[in-house]
Amino acid sequence: MSEFISLYSGSSGNSSVVRCGDHYLIIDMGKGVRTTGAALKSLGLNIADCDGILVTHEHSDHVKGLSTFLKKNPLPVYGGADTLDFLDANGIVPPTCELNTLSSREEDIGAFGVQAFPTSHDVPCVGYRIHTPDGKTMTLATDLGVLTPPVHEALSGCDLVALESNYDLHMLRSGPYPYYLRARIESARGHLSNDECSAKLLELVQEGCKKFALCHLSQENNTPMLALQTVFNTLGAAGVVPEKDCVVQAQRRNEVSPVLEF
């Protein structure tokens, strides 16, 4: 049995776990070591069983906790070449850290098969398609302003998809953000809206995917209820019944979300 578990997810910090049996991977670490360590402990996860840490990109809400965590727990780190160069050059990982560049082909990381794919963001950024030891497949894609062909391909044929549902367009445009920041978020190198996420989820449900995690919700421009309602409205209009035909879960900002088995 494979599991996806969000340790915390949102504009203030992101980290998640993909687990199968005793082995697991960590994706990103955007909060301090105490928060992340407590989350791992609450799940009964031993550091010795972690096959590695995957990093999507260099923004602080994805890497803030890495430095201290890796000093205490010297795990291998994986990511795109530009991201790893940035982490190394800026002291975000210890000098002795084992850094491993991932390409667009699937590579073995411990018991898992992992493929990185580019996402459209304002710094070099990747998502991950992960094959677990029990033959399941999941993809995580956050921090993307548009769904490019590589993203569409990576999301296809999965047992579980964790996709960004960052903002509600009305909340963003009527909220307190200055124009330049709103424009950045809405741009093709910004973030994915509830509407865009919902449209893609409908496609994936129709292709056969049944499990979904809504990730990286903005605290200022979204709410879990609004993100879920947008998805439910989109699915319902096409005759898809949530909970019966699929499971959709909004990930929690400051605490561990319920386990999603796939």
Domains of the chain, start order = 2-254 (3.60.15.10)
Given a contact cutoff of 8 angstroms between Cβ atoms, the answer to whether 197 and 142 are in contact is no
Q: Quickly count: other Cβ atoms within 10 Å of residue 239's Cβ.
A: 7
Instruction: List the alpha helices (DSSP H) in 121-223.
Output: 149-155, 169-174, 179-186, 194-207
Calculate mean pLDDT across residues 87-96. 96
Determine the pLDDT at residue 212.
Answer: 98
pLDDT at 29 over 90: yes
- What does the pLDDT read at residue 102? 96
Give me the percent of the chain exceeding a pLDDT of 70.
100
Amino acid at 41: K
Instruction: Check residue 153 and give its pLDDT.
Output: 98
For all residues of the chain together, what is the average pLDDT?
97
Residue 103 has pLDDT above 90, yes or no: no
Residue 117: its pLDDT value, please? Answer: 98
Q: What is the mean pLDDT of residues 13-19?
A: 98
Average pLDDT score over residue span 162-171: 98
> What is the mean predicted confidence (pLDDT) over 114-126?
97
pLDDT of residue 226: 98
Check whether 86 has a pLDDT greater than 90. yes
* Residue 244 CB contacts under 8 Å (≥ 6 apart), including other chains: none
Q: How confident is the model at residue 95 (pLDDT cuts 50, 70, 90)?
A: very high
Residue 162 has pLDDT above 90, yes or no: yes
What is the average pLDDT across 27-39? 97
Nearest to 143 by CA among 121, 165, 115: 121
